[in-house]
Amino acid sequence: MAVSALIAEGDVHSVYLGTGKTGRVFGALRLLRVEKNALGAGRDGALLACTQYFGDRPAELGDPALRRLLPSDADTSSAIADEVAWVDASVLPPSPRRTLLGRVAPTREERDLEVPHQAENGWAMTVWALTREAQRYDAARIQAMSPQELAAAVKAQAAEEERRRAVIAHMSQSFPKTKSPGTRRRTRGSTITKSEFWHLLKLANARAGDSPKAVDPLVESLSSCSKANIREFDEMLAEELYRLDRRDLAAHAGDVGKSNDGFLYARCFVVSKGRATVESVLADPSKMPKDRTFESLLYAATRAYSRRTGHETEWSTHFSSETGSNSRGWR
């Protein structure tokens, strides 16, 4: 069967990792890329990455942890590339330990990770191996085994269990566990973090031009989040636009900096380029991009909320994004 009939780029799989000290434990894998014949003739390849989701129930598609990849202590492409793995998609078997949740569009950086086709290491391969159904032996089969075969089977099962314990231990130490419904409600502080905000922004592609299509992947991803998370994203965007609302930055923005709306859209472009660009521009106004705008980013949360609820947004952000709102920046 062709790989496209089994899996597709963006697939998110919930993975049952086993039983920990507090009960059942689940993780999640994301499929970043699919390539025909990547592992040889007739062997299609699927590039898998392990997410930072860790919980006592299967992940929900809108969970922000699904957009964060291991390792947790590095956010560079090279570090992440060391933890992803190619698997043979042509013989991808179903597994009771693995459930397809849906799709999360990979960012451009995730799709473009340079990973050798022979890469079979890292967390992705470790977690993937745990999705294989455990080998079971009935009494008749055990009696038919030679001493060497029995010893090998016991050793293999012990090794699998050790890998499972190692994965659960690492995840429990590194990431907060998501509780199942009814045990504890999410608190206000459990909405998206700044890191998740910047990660989501990678889905906005200013290179595609200032048009709604350029933010469609971001809108799609946001619309699968909770209403609280969509609002939190909008709040964070407004805060970054407020920080960039300065006279010296407008002076370096080119002709678009001469009008209130133009400078607002220019600030949207800067935010879309990521945290490093924002901080660089704030530190050195001469690095402000000239005559570049990205108005469409301004309405991403509104569109996502409307898609999710069928209603218009019901809030106004704490920080105003309008030009001139940051009075200190215009002194």
Q: What is the pLDDT of residues 290-310, one digit of tens each?
A: 999 999 999 999 999 999 998
Residue 255 DSSP SS3: helix
The pLDDT score that the predictor gives to residue 174 is 52
Q: How many other β-carbons are positioned within 10 Å of the β-carbon of residue 313?
A: 18
Q: Mark 200-215 as b/e (b = at least 16 C-beta within 10 Å).
A: bbbbbbbeeebeeebb
pTM: 0.46
Q: How many other β-carbons are positioned within 10 Å of the β-carbon of residue 300?
A: 29
pLDDT tops 80 at residue 197 = yes
pLDDT digits (tens, 9 = 90+) for 228-252: 889 889 989 998 999 999 999 999 9
Q: Which amino acid is at 276?
A: A
Cα–Cα distances (Å) from 28 to 4, 9, 136, 222, in that order, read 21, 15, 25, 19
pLDDT digits (tens, 9 = 90+) for 145-187: 676 776 776 666 666 566 556 655 655 555 555 443 333 233 2
Q: Is 294 in contact with 201 (CB distance < 8 Å)?
A: no
Residue written as token pair 């952000």: 317
Alpha helices in the chain (DSSP H): 77-81, 108-111, 122-129, 139-144, 147-174, 194-201, 216-223, 227-243, 247-251, 260-272, 275-283, 300-309
Report the alpha-carbon distance of residue 121 to residue 59 in Å, rounded: 24
Helices then strands, counting H and E runs in the chain, come out as: 12, 5
Phi, psi of 16 (to 5 degrees): -80, 115
Report the alpha-carbon distance of residue 194 to residue 233 in Å, rounded: 9
The pLDDT score that the predictor gives to residue 5 is 37
Report the alpha-carbon distance of residue 208 to residue 324 in Å, rounded: 29
